[in-house]
Amino acid sequence: MEFTAQKIAELLGGRVEGNPDVTIDRVIKIDGDETGGLSFLANPKYESFIYTTGADVVIVGNDFSPEKELTTTLIRVEEPYLAIATLLDMYNKMKLDKTGISENAFIHESATIGENAYVGDFAYIGKDVVLGDDVKIYPQTYIGDNSRLGEGSIVFAGVRLYHDTVIGKDCRIHSGVIIGSDGFGFAPTENNEYVKVAQIGNVVIEDHVEIGSNTTIDRATIGSTFIRKGVKLDNLIQVAHNVEIGENTVIAAQAGISGSVKIGRNCMIGGQVGFIGHIKIGNNVKIGAQAGVVANVQDGEIIIGSPAIDRRQFIRSTIHFKNLHSIVERLDNLEKKLGDSKV
């Protein structure tokens, strides 16, 4: 697929400086060796490469002022990084624009399939499933009975959605994700055995959510596990039963969220963060990588460490951590001197 610089500028609401008719068919790195194509300059530390890049077209900010002569056509926009993200998303949607139902797929007679849907080879669509318009179900995916997928959602190969799962509009579920498996619920007995507690709830995922590969989200014991609108989950995350993750929260890989944790809106959570169960995390919270969260967190807090504490307090404490050995030596020497003086 080829696009002119002018067409790209129109799509992004930008303006062209240079040749509006130059065509591009791919995106390249501004600091790479490739020639032709489209690149972008969003980080000032890469500015030197715009004078040597082989790209035919470069997206830049409205405030960019070249210090040398340029040989490339510019497209000026308000936010270059957001512009390239928008453009890449458009391009990716065109690549993923599959339609049609494979003869090798199983679709229960009670299922409802929307217009322009795609169901790939060996996919399983269960009883009373509803797929909205433009939904894409890639090969070898399992959609359990009575599940719902909203308009424009994409489920990549090898995903497993248990029964009664609800997914909103324009979601992306990547390969290996399992949604709706049983929560970890067992009742101990007097004989030190465990009786399974039936997990009869479901998982509800709202609009514009993206879930990375091999992430697991457990169904609720009773009620629903909720992933709210705009949430972005990285790969290899564990979300336990009855968890609620608030709107537009982002969580990096290998985080583990125990049962009944409530996470607020607009939070940023680093990789390998662990949460004990039944705590509440406020809105606009930031949690550093590998933190161990063992208590409620108030709105707007920034915490790190294990157990996690206020970031500033942790940084001050690290000074003492580094000097702990010398502090112990000084204490030992003082005790020895005090002991000698008593003699």
| Residues with catalytic roles | 241
- Decide: 270 and 254 in contact? Cβ < 8 Å: no
Helix (H) / strand (E) containing 84: helix 80-95
Distances (CA, A) of 45 to 30, 31, 35, 105, 275: 12, 11, 21, 50, 37
d(CA 69, CA 228): 48
238, β-bridge pairs: 216, 256
Q: Which amino acid is at 108?
A: H
Q: Which amino acid is at 265?
A: R
CA dist 303 and 313 (Å) reads 9
Q: Are 28 and 47 in contact (CB under 8 A)?
A: no
Residue tagged 């705590």 (tokens) = 279
CB atoms within 10 A of CB 121: 12
User: To which residue do tokens 């294990």 refer?
Assistant: 306
Closest CA to 114 of 149, 145, 142, 140: 149
Structure tokens at 117: 């849907």
**What single-letter DSSP state applies at residue 56?**
S
In one-letter notation, the amino acid at residue 98 is K
- Listed in sequence order, the residues at least 6 apart from 214 whose beta carbon sits closer than 8 Å to its beta carbon are 175, 176, 177, 235, 236
| Other CB atoms within 10 A of residue 97 CB | 11
* Distance from C-alpha of 3 to C-alpha of 163, rounded to nearest angstrom: 43
Give the phi and the psi of residue 110 in degrees, each rounded to 5: -90, -10
